[in-house]
Structure 1
């Protein structure tokens, strides 16, 4: 396995440019760094030297041979590569490490809050009321709504399904029916809406759902953070959001905010259907006796 291909390309360039100056200790240090680029960006020079089995000062000497004033500057370089070199990382450990790097100065909570606030401010400037209205109009006219999100976003699809059902819209959470997807999707028909939540990547399963929706004449909505998300054919309506830059917390609040806005706008345009359904559900829950039976 070519481990050098796993490290940031800029580090690989530095190694190549200075290869004739590197000592045996340098090679051992670089081997440790390349084995685990994520940890390399987190450890200090003493820790890296210890893992490489060399003198503590060796890490400082390596940093200087590569053109840095000392190991802290070299470590900052590695951290910058971690934060900026790979967009939103496919490696979960890299994503967490990048966030820890950002949190070092101000604390974890402050770092997460800053990320969420920044992501929400970007949302204000990138998604319009017209985008929200396109989704809510589509839902208002629907016969049934089918929602699907994978991974963390199966929780979002469950919550949105719950809220839409309480608002009087027949909604199916496909993520909760993974063992019955063929049976459920076989009922898709014209007048139905499929709302897809695609984050970090557009999976083959989502592509298949889009294809089935087209065959059955159902409309497709897509909420995604994938800049170049490709569905063939394209969804009928799509909202593209940023959940944060590399090293940020990759907000779950941003897509939930969009969903909340769509459901609120739906209540504003459906001639009281949502409000009547919510009031009816409240009365039923209070009078049906189920709450007492479940205690």
Structure 2
């Protein structure tokens, strides 16, 4: 926003008297111009709509619509930065728990800023078209991988977990082939066993999707698609809040893309729950 204010200041001497009124209003109330029509702005300072439009053109924009889009984006960016700073600085009147939760909220804000939606859609397409899905992880990430693989198997089928310490590990590796995908959770601390699993998957022509904490992760070397998600760490305890948010988004996209199949499989599971009288 400061850049645009400097542009207005630099061109101010060349404005007509009516355009100077528009410039003054912008300096005082940029939000008003961001969300009001050129006609409304003109009425506010007693100038014509065309004067407002010519004022934006004098600043180098094609017209009022383009100027307004830029201002709206700049204001949104400023508010996001301000929100991040507020969350990064613990408030004196907040409890320890509230500050911890704010840190988790910030991790989701960062994910929102950094996530590549096109990659996310590619991941969903790969999951939908895979002949077989394998999910693996470092042992610190076992809970995430187990939960995610369980949901995929329940809704799509043909999904299994690869655990290097299990006896069937090597028979699973032997079955991986072209057309399969391996989804890996590779958050610190990285294990040699996980890297070996991914190396084998690549050699067997499977597609590899890696969820990890950084683009510099050692697992990234084997990834066809890398989805970096920063962890929030406090008191040496990692919070996977943003990872859960990303996985939930993937699950929802899969549900939409494979709606009939997912719904049908869930109905079958519910029927078994009812037959076995599982829930109170």
TM-score normalised according to structure 2 size: 0.61
Match among 212, 217, 220 for residue 224 of structure 1: 212
Deviations 1:230-275 (A, max 9, x none): 3475311110111236768632111111111111111211252112
For residues 98 and 264 of structure 2, the distance between their equivalents in structure 1, rounded to whole angstroms, comes to 41
Which of 146, 162, 185 is 1:197 aligned to? 185
RMSD: 2.7
For residues 109-128 of structure 1, what are the structure 2 equivalents within 5 Å? 109-128=97-116
Contact 2:220 2:226 in 1 (8 A): no
Partner of 2:85: none
Shift of the 104–181 alpha-carbon distance from structure 1 to 2, 3 Å rule, reads farther
Cα distance in 2 for partners of 1:233, 1:191 equals: 20
Q: Does 2:212 align with 1:212?
A: no
Query: Do the aligned partners of residues 226 and 246 (structure 1) sit closer, same or farther apart at CA in structure 2, a change above 3 Å counting?
Result: farther
- Structure 2 gaps, min length 5: 1-89
Q: Decide whether the 8 Å contact of 2:195 with 2:219 is kept in 1.
A: yes
1:183 equivalent to 2:176? Answer no
Larger Rg: 2
CA deviation vs aligned residue, 1:132-160 (integer Å, no higher than 9, x gap): 21111111011111111223310011110
Provide, for residues 10-51 of structure 1, a one-character-per-residue CA deviation record: whole Å limited to 9, x for no partner.
xxxxxxxxxxxxxxxxxxxxxxxxxxxxxxxxxxxxxxxxxx
Residue-pair matches, total: 191
The alpha-carbon distance between structure 1 residues 202 and 190, as it changes in their structure 2 partners (threshold 3 A), is same
**1:97-108, aligned counterparts within 5 Å?**
106-108=94-96
Task: Measure the CA separation in 2 of the matches of 1:105 and 1:177.
Answer: 48
> Residues 173 and 191 of structure 1: is their aligned pair in 2 closer, same or farther, counting only changes over 3 Å?
same
Relative contact order (C-alpha < 8 Å, sep 6+): which is higher? 1
- In 2, the alpha carbon distance for the partners of 1:105 and 1:203 equals 41
Q: Structure 1's 232 and 120: CA in aligned 2 closer, same or farther, altered over 3 A?
A: closer
1:211–1:232: 8 Å Cα contact kept in structure 2? no
Is 1:164 matched up with 2:139? no
Identify the residue that residue 135 of structure 2 maps to in structure 1. 147
Structure 1 residue matching 2:227: 3-state secondary structure: strand
1:291 maps onto 2:271 in alignment: no
Structure 1: gaps (5+ residues): 1-101
Question: Structure 1 residue 135 and structure 2 residue 135: aligned?
Answer: no
Q: Could you tell me whether the CA contact under 8 Å between 2:127 and 2:133 is conserved in 1?
A: yes
- Residue 240, structure 1, aligned to residue 248, structure 2: no
- Residues 277 and 176 of structure 1, relative CA distance in 2, 3 Å threshold: farther
Preserved CA contact (<8 Å) 1:221 1:235: yes
* Whole-angstrom CA distance in 2 between matches of 1:194 and 1:152: 18
Q: Distance in 2 between matches of 1:229 and 1:244?
A: 16
Which whole-Å CA distance do the structure 1 matches of 2:181 and 2:146 have between them? 16
In 2, the alpha carbon distance for the partners of 1:171 and 1:195 equals 10
CA distance 1:149–1:234, change in 2 (3 Å): closer
